């Protein structure tokens, strides 16, 4: 059975080029193409692709917004992002929105074909460069946390609390998430402010950002 694909990009020349390349693949069927997210939402009323390949930066509705809408209304449809943006923020937000894969626009046709097949079989696919980037970021974050434990004399639990404070959670939400009491959260916050020489929660948030313990969206 052929993989039914819907292509989305607001640059028609690029869209036509991808359509031409993928149309030559025997087990692929391009059932439609669109230059905007709004067009896709309308098209999905009458067609059901297995996979939507979309750019991120488009006029009016972004590829991230489109991904969210598709996954809410048609969770069975897989999404592959094909974008010139490969920094961590874009990739993470795409994954949060429900994308199953992410490739840079300069990817090879062979890698694109491989990604489509992997995702259609229920997997996830990220380009080698993106995967390595995430791996290195993860390693660096682990090292940073280790340094904070050694140099600032923080405990692993205090780092967990600090990261949750920095994401904007209330004391009660932190307590619920970590299965501890609100009083214990207060104690951790007090210790953190003393150890980090912070006057308030805002300064702790800045500390977490500077030390790359959280990713700004």
Q: Tell whether 122 and 140 lie within a shared domain.
A: no
CATH of the domain at 185: 3.40.50.2300
Q: What is the pTM of this model?
A: 0.65
- What is the tally of structural domains in the chain? 2
Non-local CB neighbours of 54 within 8 Å, separated by 6+ positions: 7, 8, 9, 37, 40, 63, 66, 67, 79, 80, 81, 82
Same domain membership, residue 136 and residue 110? no
Q: Which of 73, 96, 126 is the last residue of a domain?
A: 126
Same domain, 32 and 97: yes
- pLDDT tens string 12-40: 999 999 999 999 999 999 999 999 999 99
Is 216 a member of any domain?
no
Residues 95 and 36 in one domain: yes
Q: Report if residue 186 sits inside a domain.
A: yes
Q: Which domain holds residue 22?
A: 3-126
**What is the DSSP annotation of 64-130?**
HHHHHHHHHH-TTSEEEEEES--SHHHHHHHHHHT-SEEEETT--HHHHHHHHHHHHTT--EE-HHH
How confident is the model over 172-210, as pLDDT tens digits? 999 998 999 999 999 999 999 999 999 998 899 888 888
| CB contact at 8 A, 178 and 160 | yes
Residues 146 and 117 in one domain: no
Phi, psi (degrees; rounded to nearest 5) at 200: -155, 180
């Amino acid at each position: 059975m052929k993989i039914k694909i819907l292509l989305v990009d607001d640059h028609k020349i690029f869209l036509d080029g991808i359509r031409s390349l993928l149309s030559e693949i025997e087990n692929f069927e391009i059932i439609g193409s669109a230059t905007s997210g709004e067009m896709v939402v309308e098209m999905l009323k009458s067609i059901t692709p297995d996979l939507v390949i979309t750019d991120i930066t488009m006029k009016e509705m972004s590829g991230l917004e489109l991904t969210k809408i598709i996954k809410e209304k048609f969770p069975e449809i897989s999404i592959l992002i094909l974008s010139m943006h490969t920094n961590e923020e874009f990739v993470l937000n795409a994954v949060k929105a429900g994308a199953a894969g992410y490739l840079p626009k300069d990817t090879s046709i062979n890698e694109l074909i491989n990604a489509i097949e992997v995702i259609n079989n229920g997997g996830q696919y990220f380009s080698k460069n993106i995967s390595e980037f995430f791996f290195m970021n993860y390693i660096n974050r682990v090292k940073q946390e280790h340094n904070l434990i050694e140099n600032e004399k923080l405990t692993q639990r205090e780092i967990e609390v600090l990261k949750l404070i920095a994401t904007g959670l209330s004391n009660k939400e932190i307590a619920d998430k970590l299965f501890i009491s609100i009083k214990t959260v207060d104690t951790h916050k007090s210790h953190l402010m003393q150890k980090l020489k912070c006057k308030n929660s805002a300064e702790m948030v800045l500390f977490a950002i500077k030390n790359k313990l959280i990713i700004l969206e």
